[in-house]
Amino acid sequence: MKRRIYGLETEYGIICTSSQQADKPMSIQSAVMYLFREIIHGRMYPDVFLENGARFYQDIGCHPEYATPECDSVIDLIAHDKAGERITERLLLSAERRMQNENVKGKMSIFKNNTDTPGNTYGCHENYLMDRRVSFRQLAAKLIPFFVTRQIFTGAGKVKPSNRGRYAISQRAEHIREEISIATTTARGIINTRDEPHADREKYRRLHVIVGDSNMSEYVNLLKVGTTDIVLRMIEANFITRQFALRNSVHAIQRISDDVTCTRTVELENGRRLSAVEMQLEYLDLARQYLEREGSDPTTDLVMKCWEHVLTCLQDDPEQLDRELDWVIKRRLIETYASSRNIGWDSPKITMLDYQYHNIRTDVGLYYKLEHDNLVERIITDAQIEHAMHHPPETTRAKFRGRFVKLANEKKIMCGVNWSYIQLYEPYQKLFLSTNPLQAEYEEASRMIYSI
Instruction: State how far the Cα of 116 lies from the Cα of 15, in Å rounded to an integer.
Output: 10
Q: Which helix (H) or strand (E) holds 14?
A: strand 13-17
What lies within 8 Å, CB to CB, of 342 at 6+ separation is none
Return phi, psi of residue 274, to 5°. -135, 145
Instruction: State how far the Cα of 430 lies from the Cα of 415, in Å rounded to an integer.
Output: 9
**Chain centroid, CA 423 distance in Å:** 29
Give me the sign of the Cα torsion angle 341, 373, 371, 150. Answer: negative
Residue 312 to residues 66, 278, 279, 285, Cα–Cα distance (Å): 34, 10, 13, 13
Length of the chain: 452
Instruction: State how far the Cα of 419 lies from the Cα of 53, in Å rounded to an integer.
Output: 9
Instruction: State how far the Cα of 97 lies from the Cα of 91, in Å rounded to an integer.
Output: 10
DSSP code string of 64-128: EEEEPPPBSSHHHHHHHHHHHHHHHHHHHHHHHHHHHHTT---EEEEE-SSB-TTS-B--EEEEE
Residue 23 to residues 15, 16, 209, Cα–Cα distance (Å): 15, 12, 41
What lies within 8 Å, CB to CB, of 88 at 6+ separation is 12, 35, 56, 64, 66, 110, 360
What lies within 8 Å, CB to CB, of 101 at 6+ separation is none
Instruction: State how far the Cα of 398 lies from the Cα of 392, in Å rounded to an integer.
Output: 6
Residue pair 396/437 in contact (Cβ under 8 Å)? The answer is yes
Catalytic-residue membership of 76: no
Of the residues 23, 59, 76, 326, only one is catalytic, namely: 59
Ramachandran assignment for 428, one of left (phi > 0), alpha (psi -120 to 50 degrees), beta (any other): beta
Please give the positions annotated as active site: 59
